[in-house]
Structure 1
């Protein structure tokens, strides 16, 4: 098992090129199961979750070519499709449950293992399953597997989610594209990654409309025409490097971004004193003075993203005064707190509320990553800490960040990846 050794205290300076969005890539790649002809995706990130999904797509009977240098992924159909997604693959990737939707839509049957992934709350799949039932699917969950069938095909329906769910919204969009009739999704998630999925499918002949009131209307079609599609930049990766610049009192030019997708992060950073200069597809970030404490509440997009909560907590440890974070998306997303406290952070938790009292310095320590975003918060904390920090279980980090230590080291960080 690998770990990172990080020597803190280095100001970051230079350029970082942001990768394609993992959270956009996963559902778009999964939707390729709807196609009879080859599809091609550009700007695909080289992260563990993508490689896991590639293995799953292969198991389901598709041929996959991934040009890592050009970040181009090609998927084509083999002679025989398969409908079984095994636990051996699904256990490491929560998004894998999305394959249920295209398998049902295209072939009328599927057997899919319940998913794994980050340990940050229940994230139940019941929203997916209940909605698929409304489209006409018959579903049975037993012994860790979802057995589903739709022998007469899926039929359009009105679906109103009891709570906003990115995964469930993606699942029903994919399922309803080839369904008979019209599907209306109310209380849908409208994250940029979902809009990218919709734009891709529409370019392929789908008929999907959406609005800012969280309504998505899908008119089923008979066939999709494959195209080339470029995945949007990863807004969470961009936000993470923005925090890296601020927490080290450095200055970074962050390239290959969509600044519109970052506005909910930029607005808070500007409010607390960060200087941000935006360009067409890049931005520069730095600070001239001490940052101000803040209060944030995580919300579905366009609210503050839960995937940036841990990074802002690391930043709060270096801001004089008390900052407050209310986590309203997941019920168990403060697992990084105890590890930050090992480095000297002053954090108090009360239910879903964290109060962080900024201190002068964190100290290097041996810590353990517990999920994807928690792991990167420890990297950020280590960059600002005195001494050397050892981060264990970095396989979480590799699930969602491409070449993290290389990108940071090119900007002046001192990070080594070693084997136990």
Structure 2
């Protein structure tokens, strides 16, 4: 298993370019199932989840080409024939986004067999809202041996009010509704930029969707979709992670090729914390100012503070003066990084969904374990300011969602390297 070796103490100086959003790319790749024609996606991040999605689509009979050389961030997908509409467990066991093929498969082929999804162990992310919505659209769904099997002659447009806001649920049912007979009205929808990005692709393919990015979405079903070319949004979570990297190291870092409009809640909290920001049209510069100040954060659905930034911001708060309180409202098991941060000298206590951080501690190097994607990023940030050399184990979590993180950080002055192990030998 690969490890990161990080020696702390270097301020980050220079420019980091942000990759495309994994959480936009995955549903957009799934959307290619809805048409026989070629779908070309640009600004695709080179992360492990994308490779898993490629294998998944190819296993169903799709032709998928991931670009190389100058076209390395582009993919073309053609699902002319879906000979095996099954999302096999051995492929999707590491990726939560596998549930996103359920809606498009049943809409296109009339049946789908999808393994219950995996991904990070950060709490329950039930698929029941997907099932409830598809059943309202006329699908018959059974569950056995770890698989969901869905069938429908043709889905029917319907009115769905989501019991709770769900990003993947909104995306899955949105794709299904594009080929349903009649109109659909969805209420209490997720408003994340990733939903808006998917809707933009679907409309480019000939769908009729209004309201994406708001809590109410209307879809007029069409008989057929066609191919399209679409550029994936920049990754707002990667951008936020590197902004915190600049802030926590007291550096002068320009985070380029991002969309600051997608970062509003995070930027507001950074400024409250005393971080100096210069916000441009497609970049944010973070540079050292005075001492960091404690702030409280509470995770919420977009446009609130993102749960995917909670761990990274907590790492920053270990360096702030005063006591901060972090409340996690989205997932019930997303404080697994706390124990590892405390091993590095942080002073964090947890009670239920609330973590209390007593800041100002000088972090010390340690050997720590990455437990999930965003926890991994938090440990990298902590190691960048820790005294000495830290070793981060299980960084395969990082590779699921960050493109060449160690190379990007090294390019702006971090002392970080990847150490691989083969058959137990370094």
TM-score (norm 2): 0.97
Could you report, residue by residue, the CA deviation over 1:147-196 in whole angstroms, capped at 9, with x for unpaired residues? 1111x210011111111010100010011000001111111101001001
1:138 paired residue number = 140
Aligned equivalents of 1:212, 1:100: Cα separation in 2 = 22
Aligned equivalents of 2:203, 2:275: Cα separation in 1 = 38
2:115 paired residue number = 113
Q: Which of structure 1's runs of 4+ aligned residues deviate more than 4 A? A: none
Query: 8 Å contact 2:36–2:80 — kept in the other structure?
Result: no
2:367 paired residue number = 366
User: Which stretches in structure 1 are left out of the alignment for 5+ residues?
Assistant: none
Specify which of 73, 76, 90 is matched with residue 75 of structure 2.
73
2:159 paired residue number = 158
Could you report, residue by residue, the CA deviation over 1:244-298 in whole angstroms, capped at 9, with x for unpaired residues? 0011000111111111111111111112211111222112111210111101110
Aligned equivalents of 2:213, 2:116: Cα separation in 1 = 32
CA RMSD in angstroms, aligned pairs only: 1.1
> Is the partner of 2:254 in helix, strand or coil?
strand
**1:289 to 2:290 alignment:** yes
2:251 paired residue number = 250
- Cα distance 1:308–1:68, how it changes in 2: closer, same or farther (>3 A)? farther
How far did 1:211 drift? 6.3
Could you report, residue by residue, the CA deviation over 1:185-226 in whole angstroms, capped at 9, with x for unpaired residues? 111101001001111111221111116651111110111121
1:402 paired residue number = 403
How far did 1:413 drift? 0.5
> Is the partner of 2:98 in helix, strand or coil?
helix
1:168 paired residue number = 169
User: Which stretches in structure 2 are left out of the alignment for 5+ residues?
Assistant: 422-426
Aligned equivalents of 1:258, 1:25: Cα separation in 2 = 16
Aligned equivalents of 1:133, 1:286: Cα separation in 2 = 51
Moved more, 46-55 or 211-220: 211-220
Aligned equivalents of 2:295, 2:343: Cα separation in 1 = 23
Residue-pair matches, total: 419
Aligned equivalents of 1:211, 1:56: Cα separation in 2 = 27
Aligned equivalents of 2:307, 2:68: Cα separation in 1 = 29
Aligned equivalents of 2:91, 2:118: Cα separation in 1 = 9
Query: 8 Å contact 1:273–1:287 — kept in the other structure?
Result: no
Query: 8 Å contact 1:18–1:237 — kept in the other structure?
Result: yes
